[in-house]
Amino acid sequence: MESLRSRNLEAANLRRQNLASHILTAPALLWLLLFFLVPYLIVLIYSFLTPDIYDIRFIFSLEAYRQVSAGTYLKPFFLSFRLAVFTTLACLVLGFPVAYLIARARERVQNTLLVMIIIPFWTNLIIRIFSWRIFLASEGVLNDVLLRLHLICSPLEIMRTDFAVILVMVYVYLPYMILPLYSVLQKLDFTLLHAAMDLGANEVKAFFRITLPLAMEGIFAGSLLVFIPALGAYLIPQLVGNQQSLYVGQVITYKIKNIPRNWPMASALSFTLLLLVALLLFLMYLAWRRRVLTKRGEYE
Amino acid sequence: MADIRLENLSKDFDGFLAVDDVNLTIRSGELFSFLGPSGCGKTTLLRMIAGFEIPRGGRIMIGDQDISELPPYKRPVNTIFQNYSLFPHMTVYDNVAFALRIRKSPKSQIRDQVRNMLALVKMGDQAQKYPAQISGGQKQRIAIARALINNPKVLLLDEPLAALDLKLRQHMLIELMNIHDAVGITFIYVTHDQGEAMSISDRVAVMENGRIVQHGPPDDIYERPASIFSAYFIGETNLITGEVMGIEDEYVQLRCPMGNGEFFEIDSTVHFAPTLGRQLTVSLRPEKIAISRSKPRAQEDFNILRGTIEDILYLGTHTQYIVKVGELRFRVFSQHKRVYFDEKALDWEEPVWLFWHDTDSWLIDEVPESGSPSLSHDVTNVYQRWVKRQQSNGI
């Protein structure tokens, strides 16, 4: 009897806790449902409809996906993918040493440095991109200085190139890489590096066998934070890139902005981009799981 | 096999001398401890041997090789770190295999050696677990296996038991001694726990302010402390200051003020040559003193004092009495045995006799500085007060 009663009490407690957690998470769930899932469903539905000059006709069509799979938009996808890979790699290579140095600095210095990383966020993104335009332009600050120093004889054409796009992308997204890297490196126990060196590893080996694997979480998080937005980048290619190489984000925008409008095409491209990201995440998950599994296999 | 020689070794941090001109030879195969309070320089000394600190002056020799400037990964030395520093992203197996993989040993050899090492530390069945999944004592064993697989000439242990609870600490201490016997290499052990150092070591070096104040076998340091610091830091002791009144062969007679204008006399054997009138300190271990209600029969080679019990602290294995003689307080340990001097237990405020053999008082050619430990400022803590109140209330 006693145990039955306590079990009932336990169950009641559990129910109460569940109810409380449901109530607390409801607003966020509702928000996601209304403003994330429902719009995405609309995008998905639109991608299977027929375009009209200004609007859309509710007639089922696979035309948009036929064009995507026929490779009509291969170049924008390739450009966007290349941009995302280059930006992520550059941010990783440039961001890691910075994050490492901040993590190893004294606590007060750490805070100052972190604020310095975050300060650019206080300025509007468009203003920062326009500053780059002024800086990189053929009669801009950079060329002016280089010409005066006689390091070059004619202005470098950097503006409106793919290189300029990557440059500004790296500039904008670097903090998104540094912050997650910092947060894992800051928790890293640096005596582990001493232990590795004590066991015969020099600085380079200690880095690759201890620091890097233990920073993996931050590398993944930072890479996702940079890679995914870079894949759909619109603003930066639009403002510093050229019209010969259009990125997926730009193509999607034009499909909606230019007349005749093509809502289904824009939707199909968006959805394809989403599928690509999902596929990538899935592959990463598989790779990670395989690593863990083969590790276990070694001893059995 | 090679001895380790520390020659004029010193190290400073921003002008603060952490290790000050240390000269010492640690014999091959020895289990040697550095013992001292925190900040005495013992860990810095160990880190210099490991290669994590570069000495400011002097040399560290292993046999004929000067290792003072070598990076840690080129030294024939391995370390057990204070919190083990196991690699959290590797299994127990991978942790132990780490050094061999760095050296690119063949796979089959790695497997065999790791198995042997795990067997040595009795962790063979835990190979696939991650450090987060094993207990503190097990982590300790893995840290030992991971270091020993590298075949070091010297194993450095930096307060290796500090994170374990008492029972486990005692168990691991014996385990460490067994492992030391099994592998036969030099162990250098750093601790602030005098009990650990005494029980495990072949020899102990006591450190204070970056210097070695005394080194030798544990019983030597306990029974024959060279300075007031050694005497006070290791074990408990009574320190009594007095003036040399007479010298006869190896015996010295001291006249000691009781603090209330009166004096008593202490006879002691002596191991150096004092002069008449010199101020010396007697170190008298609490367990050497006998305590009794009845006056002992007068004996030639005994010191006998009369005092009053001020505090009694029951400690299970023994009872600690604080006995007031004049203004001085003596700490006395007495074990609980039926065959003892008194039928009825001694009580608070009771007048008692203290006596000990002349050879049990040890003379130190030093006088306590003001502020340093001596009999007049002795501890009487809150707990003792509380016990006393309970007893006087008849509970």
Give the model's pLDDT for residue A261. Answer: 92
Would you say residue B332 has pLDDT above 90? yes
Count of beta carbons in the 10 Å neighbourhood of residue A9: 10
- Indicate if B87 and B180 belong to the same structural domain: yes
pLDDT-derived band at B371, boundaries 50, 70, 90: very low
Q: What is the pLDDT of residue B383?
A: 42
> Which of B67, B54, B62 lies closest to B18, judged by CA?
B54
The Cα–Cα gap between B176 and B155 comes to 11
Give the closest of A194, A196, A199 to B52, CB-based. A194
Tell if the CB–CB gap between B102 and A201 is shorter than 8 Å: yes
**pLDDT given at position B373:** 43
% of chain B with per-residue pLDDT over 70: 91
Higher model confidence: residue A173 or residue A291?
A173
**First vs last C-alpha separation in chain B:** 63
With 0-12 / 13-18 / 19 or more C-beta atoms within 10 angstroms meaning exposed / middle / buried, residue A248 is buried
Computed over every residue of chain B, the mean pLDDT equals 88
Number of structural domains chain B divides into: 2
pLDDT of residue A241: 92
B259 confidence band (pLDDT: 50, 70, 90): confident
CA dist B380 and B282 (Å) reads 21
Which whole number is the average pLDDT over B317-344?
A: 81
Closest CA of chain A from B375, distance in Å: 43
Alpha carbon dihedral A145, A146, A147, A152, in 10-degree steps, equals: 180
Sort out which chain B residues have CB atoms less than 8 A from A296's CB and list them: 128
Chain A residue numbers with beta carbons less than 8 Å from the beta carbon of B78 are 198-199
B50/A198 CB distance under 8 A: yes
Q: Are residues B129 and B71 in the same domain?
A: yes
Cβ-Cβ contacts under 8 Å between A and B: the total is: 63
Quick one: fold of A74-261?
MetI-like fold (1.10.3720)
CB < 8 Å to B127, chain A:
299
ipTM, two decimals: 0.80
**Interface contact A200-B103, CB threshold 8 A:** yes
Tell me the average pLDDT of chain A: 90
Q: Which pLDDT value is given to residue B379?
A: 40
Over pLDDT 90: what percentage of chain A?
Answer: 71
pLDDT of residue B378: 42
Domain that holds residue B68: 4-228
Among the candidates B184, B209, B228, a domain finishes at B228
How do strand B154-158 and strand B77-80 relate by DSSP bridges? parallel
Interchain contact, B72 vs A299, CB within 8 Å: no
User: B67 by DSSP, 3-state: which?
Assistant: coil
Check which CATH number belongs to the domain holding B175 and give it. 3.40.50.300
Lowest average pLDDT, out of A197-211, B72-86, B374-388, goes to B374-388
Residue partners of B355: CB distance under 8 A and separation at least 6: B289, B290, B292, B296, B302, B303, B304, B305
Distance, CA of B99 to CA of A209 (rounded, Å): 12
B58-75: per-residue pLDDT in tens?
999 999 999 999 999 999
Query: Between B296 and B33, where is the model more confident?
Result: B33
User: What gap in Å lies between CA B51 and CA B57, rounded to an integer?
Assistant: 14
CATH number at residue B360: 2.40.50.100
Averaged pLDDT for residues A2-29: 82
Are B206 and B252 within one domain?
A: no
Smallest CA–CA separation between A198 and chain B, in Å? 5
- Residue B185's pLDDT is 94
Q: Are residues B171 and B308 in the same domain?
A: no
Q: Cis link prior to B88 (omega < 30° from 0)?
A: no
The listed range with the strongest mean pLDDT (A54-58, A179-183, B311-315, B322-326) is A179-183
Is A192–B85 a contact, with Cβ atoms under 8 angstroms apart? yes
Helix (H, G, I), strand (E, B) or coil at B212: strand
* Residue at which a domain ends, from B202, B228, B254: B228
Each domain of chain A, given as residue ranges in start order, spans: 1-35, 74-261
Question: How much is the pTM?
Answer: 0.80
Residue A11 confidence (pLDDT): 81
Among chain B residues, CA nearest to A202? B73
Note the pLDDT tens digit of each residue in B170-199: 899 999 999 999 999 999 999 999 989 999
Residue A114 confidence (pLDDT): 93
Residues B210 and B102 in one domain: yes
Question: Do B217 and B240 fall within a single domain?
Answer: no
Whether residue B180 is found in the same domain as residue B267: no
How many residues comprise chain A? 300
* Chain length of chain B: 395
Considering A83-87, B341-345, B384-388, the range whose residues carry the highest mean pLDDT is A83-87
- The tens digit of pLDDT for each residue in A136-151 reads 998 889 999 999 998 8
B294 with B312, same domain?
A: yes
**pLDDT over threshold 90, residue B394:** no
Residue of B26, B8, B19, B16 whose CA lies nearest to B204: B26
- As a whole number of angstroms, the distance between CA A236 and CA A145 comes to 25
- Count other C-beta atoms under 10 Å from residue B150's C-beta: 19
User: pLDDT tens for residues B200-249?
Assistant: 999 999 999 999 999 999 999 999 999 988 988 888 899 999 999 999 88
Same-domain status, B60 and B132: yes
Give residue for tokens 């006088």.
B367
d(CA A195, CA A191): 6
A chain contacts of residue B92, beta-carbon cutoff 8 Å: none
Q: Do both B46 and B94 map to the same domain?
A: yes
Contacts of A196 in chain B (CB under 8 A): 87, 98
From the DSSP assignment, how many helices (H) and strands (E) are in chain B? Answer: 9, 20
The tens digit of pLDDT for each residue in A214-269 reads 999 899 999 999 999 999 999 999 999 998 999 999 999 999 999 899 999 999 99
* CA geometry: angle A144, A150, A151, nearest 5 deg: 90
Tokens 């007349």: give the residue.
A259
Can you tell me the mean pLDDT for B88-113? 95
User: What distance in Å separates the CA atoms of residue B332 and residue B312, rounded to the nearest whole number?
Assistant: 10
Confidence check: pLDDT of A295 > 60: no
What pLDDT does B380 receive? 38
What pLDDT, on the 0 to 100 scale, is given for residue B270?
Answer: 86
Write out pLDDT tens, residues B9-61: 999 998 899 999 999 999 999 999 999 998 899 999 999 999 999 999 999 99
* A196/B contact by beta carbon, under 8 A: yes
Distance CA A165, CA A129 (A): 10
Q: Are residues B240 and B202 part of one domain?
A: no
DSSP-assigned letter for residue B268: E
